[in-house]
Amino acid sequence: QVQLVGSGGGLVQPGGSLRLSCAASGRIFSINAMGWYRQIPGKERELVADISSGGNINYADSVKGRFTISRDSAKNTVYLQMNSLKPEDTAVYYCHGFSYGMNYWGKGTLVTVSS
């Protein structure tokens, strides 16, 4: 089992920045990839960014150049630095882990971009 705890959401003005954190515990050695998804009410959950155990990184086209995913292996934590935030980035962000064919999710954290 893998447990994920996400944090760092909040209210920010357009153009501002936030950093999300996702801390993993449990069978962390088995994690193949970690990242962040987001969901707006009425829409499907979508990938924002993820990073594999080998260091491969994927970003949604909508966040490329603005968001940066990184990890601290010593802390078993993945970070999502979000810059130049836009109102359309408003969503519930979910930490995600993939291990041996299973998906693990943290509780969502709300990011609101509004003036």
For 40-89, write each residue's pLDDT tens digit.
989 999 999 999 999 999 999 999 999 999 999 889 999 999 999 999 99
Beta-ladder partners of 75? none
Q: What CA–CA distances, in Å, run from 21 to 1, 69, 88, 95?
A: 20, 10, 20, 8
> What is residue 85's predicted lDDT score, i.e. its pLDDT?
98
| pLDDT beyond 80 at 29 | no
Residues 6+ apart with CB under 8 A from 12: 18, 85, 111, 112, 113
What average pLDDT is seen over the chain? Answer: 94
Q: Give me the pLDDT at residue 36, please.
A: 97
